[in-house]
Structure 1
């Protein structure tokens, strides 16, 4: 009898020890363990959108820094990033590899609207977090239909509406010409602008799309000028945006120029276009600008500068894409810390959807990250800015004109 009681006691103690060990070590889904958090990513390191490759490089370097500092709750981030050349079929291939071969916990900051939409249904069917998609598409805020996908940037509809508000306020009699990329990025920006203009859409005298693979967009710019436009809205990716700014200067045309924030980088857009040519171009941002002297002594900007010197020496610190890669990585680390020892995919999404007034070091003062189970738009504010002597100068109030869920 005593032996039976002892045996039962020993069995119970063993079960308790196993349970205690599991609790102490954490609760995990594939891709996480006591020592590692495996995060997947796709980025265009080659191809027509390769200017965005710096985002992935900064993310990789940021996680290297975090690992050297001890990781997240004692776990190292294993960041696996593949080149998809901004090609949706390639994104599908690489994402399947990340999920089915590499066994990542989540896909983070997949870059580009069309590439990320190409894998959204697949990732949601697998219940794999598609967290902080590097796209401004409002489609990545559709928490009802795609609860495993969340964007990060201010969405394109909001951005388009904010530019419309500026045009109506400052140029109420304008003749507006629009160049936009023929994909979800350009179409959403265009829709936001039109929504913002509302009953004043007759101001639009030209709207011309271009294909990403087109070697030059010069002929489109000529057509927009011929339509009589005096406000040129440039909803292009970096290469085409730079070409358009340069072509406008070559024609000695002097319209008011507005460029989407995705192509506001001084390093990869304005310098190739020619800083003199880009003088007075208007855009919008939510982040501090490395070139703006007002941030020279800002502790966060100093930390970013030191980071770039150490981990990506020789890279252009002023590139807004590099700054974006830095603070989106910072945000992921904050969410992973919130997860504690519960590194399941469900908890990762729960924590991502529970951010309240989160301040990231390189966001503009007053712009904060907020999410909820019914709000998958982490950033919803922008401030207008104008390029002056190679530096973006902020003007006006912080603006918010978010799209409806």
Structure 2
């Protein structure tokens, strides 16, 4: 029968305790000598006390759709692995190599739960990193939380991960509410006295109200609808009658794209502002030149079209060297950016890395900028990384930046 060892992580606590046998005194003397040698080399025993950490490496885990209809998101993990390999070739972090184990969940909740079990029991990971998907991670998170291990930079814009802050959980993407606060600040400065209509899908109601709290004049109207083709046609016709100078559109990627295509087909002439969903170098292929001239977007990360951006230039080189089969996309950029942030947390945690030191370092992180990241500031109440955004205009061959960083916290 195994005995429970108090004070160790759950997995270690359930391992059998070895009883004393003949010759144990010699073995104990030998182990004491080993510990002394390790101490002389600066390898503290803290590194051995938790799963996924030893003197030479730290092991991170992630569940992502490596296969299946959503496999394009797997580029996030593969690009992160490329960044970690680059860091490892530079000597690692405090002498440790970073390993990222990715388990395939096909973006299915039940597979995500199984992936968590594999990551903890088989892969012995130190922390979860950059797991993808709202529904999949929501299904997997209770199992993960039971092991009391850190959960860094969930790849989801769902507010429930960080509003309010959850102990040990950090998210990466901006929420619709963060985007609304940024849009509200910019629009008030740029279009404060103009006729503005805010259209939003039903699930973006809170974001719309967040935007309207910035003190706009009564000329601002709010319109809510579902996103069926008939509803979008009706909304666009009502917009033409209202004749706004500015339209704000808040919805998910596919719904936004359909809205803009209907708006364009119906001859809409207003400027259209929206969040980060369409901040993609592929967007110019999907919209007319006329619509691109009217469209304003938010982004936290540089786009592949920004070929002169130093971070994009480095990203391209890293993919060529470490992931030659990957094609640069918004997902590879997002993967490297998240990995840069994870590296900053590990670096600031020091040589005596543990779950507690990593979580403290994350909550004290104030990163003015990195290769791909905007300014990032985390604390005990703020667990979401991307809250500084800029306003951009897309062209087929370039990106125009229309603002400095705007803080959406």
**TM-score interval, smaller chain:** 0.7 to 0.9
Distance 2:137 2:58 in 1: 22
Partner of 2:22: none
Counterpart among 86, 96, 109 of residue 130 in structure 2: 109
Tell me if 1:336 matches 2:354.
no
The alpha carbon displacement at 1:315 in A equals 4.9
Distance 1:97 1:374 in 2: 31
- 8 Å contact from structure 1 (residues 137, 188) kept in 2: no
Count of equivalent residues = 376
Could you tell which deviates more after superposition, 121-130 or 236-245? 236-245
SS at match of 2:366: coil
Partner of 2:221: 203
SS at match of 1:163: helix
Distance 1:116 1:188 in 2: 23
TM-score, normalising length: structure 1 = 0.78
Partner of 2:43: 24
Partner of 2:395: 388
The alpha carbon displacement at 1:251 in A equals 3.4
Counterpart among 281, 292, 300 of residue 306 in structure 2: 292
Partner of 1:325: 335
Structure 1: gaps (5+ residues): 1-7, 211-216
Distance 1:56 1:14 in 2: 39
Tell me if 1:67 matches 2:88.
yes
The alpha carbon displacement at 1:47 in A equals 6.0
Partner of 2:314: 303
Structure 2: gaps (5+ residues): 1-24
Counterpart among 48, 54, 57 of residue 36 in structure 1: 57
- 8 Å contact from structure 1 (residues 27, 343) kept in 2: no
Counterpart among 208, 211, 218 of residue 229 in structure 2: 218
Could you tell which deviates more after superposition, 377-386 or 194-203? 194-203
SS at match of 1:126: coil
Counterpart among 361, 366, 372 of residue 362 in structure 1: 372
The alpha carbon displacement at 1:352 in A equals 1.4
The alpha carbon displacement at 1:282 in A equals 0.9
SS at match of 2:377: coil
Alignment CA distance shift 1:299-1:386 (3 Å) = closer
SS at match of 1:78: strand
Could you tell which deviates more after superposition, 246-255 or 31-40? 246-255
Partner of 1:160: 180
State the Cα RMSD in Å.
Answer: 3.5
Distance 2:104 2:216 in 1: 40
- 8 Å contact from structure 1 (residues 29, 343) kept in 2: no
Alignment CA distance shift 1:97-1:289 (3 Å) = same
User: In the TM superposition, what whole-angstrom CA distance separates every residue of 1:239-296 from its partner, at most 9, and x where no partner exists?
Assistant: 44334333433333334322321331122x3423455543331111233334236xx2
What are the equivalent positions in structure 2 for 1:51-90 lying under 5 Å apart? 51-90=72-111
Alignment CA distance shift 1:273-1:301 (3 Å) = same
Could you tell which deviates more after superposition, 173-182 or 353-362? 173-182
Could you tell which deviates more after superposition, 191-200 or 154-163? 191-200
SS at match of 2:124: coil
- 8 Å contact from structure 1 (residues 130, 148) kept in 2: yes
The alpha carbon displacement at 1:150 in A equals 1.1
Distance 2:193 2:109 in 1: 40
Partner of 1:4: none
The alpha carbon displacement at 1:148 in A equals 0.8
Partner of 2:157: 136
Distance 1:77 1:348 in 2: 14
Partner of 2:356: 346
